[in-house]
Amino acid sequence: MENPKPGTLILMSSSLVASQLFFDPKPWLAVVLAVILVSVACWLPFIRGMTRAISQMTQAAAQIAEGRFEVQVAGRRRDEIGQLGEMINRMASRLSGFVHGQKRFLGGIAH
C-alpha cells in the first residue's frame, strides 16, 4: 500500500450529487425534461405527417410497379413531398395512357 500524501480537507460530503455545495442536478434535470417534452410536442405532428405522406407514396409506387395505374396520391401538401406526390400521379396517368395506347395499337395490328 502506498503512503498517503499529506493534505488539508476543507470540505467533505458523503456524495457529490447529494450535496448542494457542489452541484444540484434536480433543476437541470427538470429543464432538460421540459425541453425534451416541448420538442416532442412540436415535432411529433410534423414527423407523423411526413411519414404518412411517404408511406402513401411508397404504396402508390408499389401499385404502379404492379401495373395498377389508377392509383392516386392525395396532393394536399405544398412542399417538396406534395410535388413528389403530384409527379407520381402524373406518372401513373401517363403510364396508363401509354399502356392503353399500346394495347389499342397491338389490337389493331392483330386484326
Flag whether pLDDT at 84 surpasses 80. yes
Task: Classify residue 103: in a domain, yes or no.
Answer: yes
Phi-psi region of 12 (alpha: psi -120 to 50; beta: other; left: phi over 0): beta
Task: Classify residue 18: in a domain, yes or no.
Answer: no
CA dist list (Å): 60 to 28, 46, 63, 87: 47, 21, 5, 12
Task: Classify residue 22: in a domain, yes or no.
Answer: no
Q: Is the pTM of this model over 0.85?
A: no
Task: Classify residue 13: in a domain, yes or no.
Answer: no
Convert the pLDDT of each residue in 86-101 to its tens digit. 999 999 999 999 999 9
Q: How many domains does the chain have?
A: 1
Task: Classify residue 5: in a domain, yes or no.
Answer: no
Which CATH number fits the domain that encloses residue 56?
1.10.8.500
Residue range of the domain that includes 54: 44-110
Convert the pLDDT of each residue in 31-70 to its tens digit. 999 999 999 999 999 999 999 999 999 999 999 999 999 9
Task: Classify residue 36: in a domain, yes or no.
Answer: no
